[in-house]
């Protein structure tokens, strides 16, 4: 698939992180407003923090309620209790859930400490199915092209599973821990199949350090499990929202009708 054919991946190039976050929050709020009992798939990491801040602002302004929303998260570190400050459960409470009216029983992340991880993975899939599937999934992207913790591999993993983190992921995530040795080496993650079942997907990328992977994703010509996010080219409803820094290596951005640079 050539970049010109990446038509279903609607590309938005926003001026900066703030504008990227505002647009992502707007699309999420639109979904919450338009779909009663909507199911959101959420991500952690640095990238979505601004989006969550915008959603909190809208809740505080009284223009958005999460009272009927359900959420599921992409992933969790293996071995970290939800109370651990670096767990993704803690991150979500700290950056979103504690600041909005999402009911206490309306969110779920994979458990990184379940006694039987295999059962937990199966149950996570069943849980998503019982909710009626994810209406809108938010994604960040790793420097190596991972989505969730689906690292580059020989094939695409279908379902929620336990996985080892790539060396580059461990290095990138060291910034959240006291040292590299403390970064968990494994995680539980939705599979590529789980992600692809979402009705709509928003992929966010910000900053110069994401420019190379965004260029490879949008201008590369294959769907390849060595660049896991490339599977999104086969999804019918994907918004790729990047800031100018993350778009800085793109050559054909003007082919997108929503490109703001030209
Ligand atoms: C987080 C996740 C990861 C991150 C990715 C980018 O739940 O699934 O795929 O989205 O590692 O992380 P940041 O945003 O920190 O650059």
- Extract the tokens encoding 107: 């969110």
2 pLDDT more than 90: no
Are 217 and 145 in contact by the 8 Å Cβ rule? The answer is: yes
Ligand 1 midpoint to CA 143 (Å) = 9
Residue nearest to atom 2 of ligand 1 (CA): 148
Query: Could you give the 3-state DSSP secondary structure of residue 18?
Result: helix
Read off the pLDDT of each residue in 58-82 and give the average, rounded to a whole number. 98
* Distance of alpha carbon 57 from alpha carbon 120, whole angstroms: 34
78 pLDDT more than 60: yes
Share of the chain above pLDDT 70, in %: 93
Determine if ligand 1 sits within 6 Å of the CB of residue 32. no
Per the document, the length of the chain is 262
Among 148, 166, 167, smallest CA distance to 158 is for 148
The strand pairing partners of 10, in sequence order, are: 239
Ligand 1 midpoint to CA 254 (Å) = 27
pLDDT in tens, 83-139: 999 999 999 999 999 999 999 999 999 999 999 999 999 999 999 999 999 999 999
- Extract the tokens encoding 96: 């979103």
Ligand 1 midpoint to CA 172 (Å) = 9
* Distance of alpha carbon 231 from alpha carbon 129, whole angstroms: 21
Q: Give the pLDDT score at 262.
A: 41
* Distance of alpha carbon 224 from alpha carbon 167, whole angstroms: 19
> DSSP string spanning 192-243?
HHHHHTSSEEEEEE-SGGGHHHHHHHHH----BTTBGGGGGGGSSSEEEEEE
Q: Give the pLDDT score at 258.
A: 59
Strand (E) or helix (H) holding 100: none
Task: Indicate which residues carry an active-site annotation.
Answer: 75, 144, 146, 151
Report pTM. 0.94
């Amino acid at each position: 698939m050539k970049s010109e054919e990446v038509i279903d991946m609607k590309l938005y190039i926003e001026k900066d992180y703030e504008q990227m976050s505002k647009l992502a929050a707007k699309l999420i709020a639109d979904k919450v407003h338009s779909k009663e009992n909507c199911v959101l798939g959420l991500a952690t990491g640095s990238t979505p923090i601004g989006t969550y801040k915008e959603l909190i602002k809208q809740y505080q302004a009284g223009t958005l309620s999460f009272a009927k929303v359900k959420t599921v998260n992409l992933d969790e570190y293996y071995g970290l209790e939800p109370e651990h400050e670096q767990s993704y459960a803690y991150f979500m409470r700290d950056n979103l859930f504690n600041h909005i009216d999402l009911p206490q029983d309306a969110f779920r992340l994979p458990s990184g400490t379940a006694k039987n991880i295999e059962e937990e993975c199966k149950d996570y899939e069943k849980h998503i199915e019982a909710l009626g599937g994810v209406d809108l999934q938010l994604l960040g992207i790793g420097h190596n092209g991972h989505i969730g913790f689906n690292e580059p591999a020989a094939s695409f993993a279908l379902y929620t599973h336990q996985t080892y983190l790539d060396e580059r992921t461990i290095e990138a995530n060291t910034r959240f821990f006291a040292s590299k040795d403390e970064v968990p080496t494994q995680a539980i993650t939705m599979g590529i199949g789980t992600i692809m079942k979402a009705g709509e997907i928003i992929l966010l990328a910000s900053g110069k350090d994401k420019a190379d992977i965004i260029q490879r994703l949008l201008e590369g010509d294959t769907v390849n499990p060595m660049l896991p996010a490339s599977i999104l080219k086969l999804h019918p409803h994907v918004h790729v929202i990047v800031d100018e820094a993350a778009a800085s290596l793109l050559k054909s951005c003007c082919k997108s009708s929503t490109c703001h640079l030209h």
